[in-house]
Amino acid sequence: MILRNFLMYANEDMGIKEVHKRLSFQSRCITSTYERCFAKLQTTDIRQINVSCVKEFPKSNLIVVDGFCDVEILYDVSEFLKLDDQEKKEVILDKLKQGIDKVVELNNWEITSFDDAYNCVKESGYNTNYVWKKPKSSPNRSYKAEVFIEHGLHSCDINIIIKDKKGQEITKKRVASEMPDELVFGHHLGELKWLSNNEVALFNYPKTNYVSVQLNEHQ
């Protein structure tokens, strides 16, 4: 198996009615950034690590079922909700590392790739925004378009950005705003495609609809 996915939860999540306040949602921007930084690892039986925060008495052992490894760490999520957004990102990364380190130790893995991913997130200033897939050039090669994801603690904004040959941004249009979980916003991400030299579209998944940007609308 190849380990490439990491998630965080809290026992209290199910008791929080406001979904946007749950650790599982607010932590996803950091865990997905960690995934992009992580070099992936060949393992015998683990493809995803789920770090669960509990108020007391975390289990010392790991539970591995169908490639999913559950590990518990001690953390009261009620303290998390009192933090500002930057502090939340820092705590998420530190608690994620705490859980991962426990898995690494119990499996006797080499820790370098995990530390590299941790440092990658930290050194970026906890920047959780990214370009989805590769930019696409217009048919006449005059412009490039990209899908820019602003993946925050509370929401995920999906934007189309068009740049000229010099890399200067000509326009930026928000095409969707959703909860910060790929299961929610991922259906907007099907394919980026130029419809003409002046119009680019982002098709949903499975490409049944699209939102487009026309250059003459913004020039």
43 lies in the same domain as 99: yes
Please choose, from the candidates 140, 138, 152, 155, the residue with its C-alpha nearest in 3D space to the C-alpha of residue 192. Answer: 138
Hunting for tokens 């789920």 — which residue is that?
50
Alpha-carbon separation of residue 124 from 90, 140, 157 (angstroms): 12, 35, 20
CA angle, corner 112, sides to 110 and 113, nearest 5? Answer: 100
- Model confidence at 11, in pLDDT bands (50, 70, 90)? confident
**pLDDT for residue 132 is more than 80:** yes
Amino acid at 9: Y
- Number of structural domains (the chain) is 2
Helix axes 112-123, 28-37, angle to 10 degrees: 120
Beta strands in the chain (DSSP E): 2-3, 5-10, 41-42, 48-54, 63-65, 68-74, 130-137, 143-151, 156-164, 169-178, 191-194, 199-203, 210-214
90 lies in the same domain as 177: no
117 lies in the same domain as 149: no
pLDDT tens by residue, 41-51: 999 999 999 99
- Model confidence at 192, in pLDDT bands (50, 70, 90)? very high
175 lies in the same domain as 100: no
146 lies in the same domain as 204: yes
- Model confidence at 218, in pLDDT bands (50, 70, 90)? very low
117 lies in the same domain as 134: no
Residue that is last in its domain, among 123, 152, 172 = 123
**pLDDT for residue 79 is more than 70:** yes
Residue that is last in its domain, among 74, 108, 123 = 123
134 lies in the same domain as 203: yes
Alpha-carbon separation of residue 15 from 36, 63, 86, 153 (angstroms): 30, 23, 24, 19
61 lies in the same domain as 101: yes
Amino acid 209: pLDDT: 95
Domain of 81, in residue numbers: 2-123
Amino acid 15: pLDDT: 66
95 lies in the same domain as 73: yes
Residue that is last in its domain, among 108, 123, 138 = 123
162 lies in the same domain as 177: yes
15 lies in the same domain as 105: yes
Q: Tally helices (H) and strands (E) across the chain.
A: 6, 13
Compute the radius of gyration of the chain from its Cα atoms.
Answer: 20
191 lies in the same domain as 161: yes
